[in-house]
């Protein structure tokens, strides 16, 4: 089963614009993570936010978490063509394996 649902399913933007992807989940979580996957490759860990945190930054990435709404957002600022990939949120509920959403396919057009 998949816990998270990303929105939108697909997003196409121009290089330099910001990209925002949202994730909603169903049950209480311990941590929420975001991963990137280039076509046909494995996933790359981007950022982890704990349930007691509200916002986290890493380079051009900004993640927010609203546990009352069971939602998170990933913002990529000043996007580049190399950011073209699928982005997944994943959650754990303590000592449990990550459960992934279906992902958002981001296309950044040069």
Is 58 one of the binding residues for other proteins (CB under 8 A)?
Answer: no
Is 48 one of the binding residues for other proteins (CB under 8 A)?
Answer: yes
Map tokens 């380079």 to a residue.
Answer: 59
In sequence order, what are the beta bridge partners of 88?
A: 35
Question: Rounded to whole angstroms, how far apart are CA atoms 47 and 74?
Answer: 9
Is 97 one of the binding residues for other proteins (CB under 8 A)?
Answer: yes
Considering the complex, what minimum distance in angstroms separates the CB of residue 10 from other proteins?
A: 10
Among candidate residues 29, 21, 7, 44, the one with its CA nearest the CA of residue 96: 29
Based on CB atoms, which residue is closest to other proteins, 59 or 94? 94
Is 61 one of the binding residues for other proteins (CB under 8 A)?
Answer: no
Contact residue for other proteins among 2, 20, 64, 107 (CB under 8 A): 2
Pairing of strands 10-14, 104-109: parallel
Based on CB atoms, which residue is closest to other proteins, 19 or 46? 46
Residues at the contact surface with other proteins, assessed by CB under 8 A: 2, 4, 30-31, 33, 35, 40-45, 48, 88, 90, 92, 94-103
């Amino acid at each position: 089963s998949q816990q998270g649902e990303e929105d939108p399913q697909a997003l196409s933007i121009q290089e330099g614009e910001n990209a925002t992807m949202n994730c909603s989940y169903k049950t209480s979580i311990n941590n929420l993570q975001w991963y990137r996957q280039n076509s046909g490759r494995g996933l790359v860990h981007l950022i982890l936010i704990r349930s007691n945190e509200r916002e986290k930054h890493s380079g051009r990435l900004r993640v927010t978490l609203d546990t009352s709404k069971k939602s998170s957002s990933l913002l990529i600022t000043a996007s580049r063509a190399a950011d073209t990939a699928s982005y997944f949120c994943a959650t754990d509920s303590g000592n449990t394996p990550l459960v992934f959403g279906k992902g958002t396919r981001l296309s950044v057009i040069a």
